[in-house]
Amino acid sequence: MPVAIGRNGITVAKREGDGATPIGTLPIRRVLYRADRIEPPQTRLPVEEILPEHGWCDEPENPFYNRPVDLPFPAHHERLWRDDHVYDLIAVLGWNDAPVVPGRGSAIFLHVARPDFAGTEGCIALAMDDLRGVLADAGPGDTLTISARF
């Protein structure tokens, strides 16, 4: 299936803001979705609705770095409630979360691709139907592997 990766490719040395997708085997933690736009996904993973006040801290010096936050939030963050559709369905991937290392990258998601499959900020993106298919097969303990081999 077609996939979009970071606009700067993939890397073994992921850093905040580098525009690259990290190489590795990442646990699929949970699923977030916009209930005002789509039906809940079929999956065995934990599922939560995205609300207008949901964000994700991407400020390395902040104690909430690479964690979900409620908005307004004083440090730099990403809004999960977006005007476009790329975050209508998100699988949160376990990158730099156990433990969190400041600056090693944040908000690495599996999400909906733009229509032209443009590069992401470091996430992996699929067409909505493909993403729904992946999540339908996913359950607790499942992982996603990003490698340099094609």
Active site residues: 111, 123
Q: How deeply is 98 buried, as exposed, middle or buried, from its count of CB atoms within 10 A (0-12, 13-18, 19+)?
A: exposed
Provide long-range contacts, Cβ within 8 A and 24+ apart, for 48-57.
50/80, 50/81, 50/87, 50/90, 51/81, 52/81, 53/81, 54/79, 54/80, 54/81, 55/79, 55/80, 56/80, 56/106, 56/107, 57/106
Q: Report yes or no: 38 and 49 within 8 Å, Cβ to Cβ.
A: no
State the sign of the Cα–Cα–Cα–Cα dihedral 90, 108, 7, 146.
Answer: negative
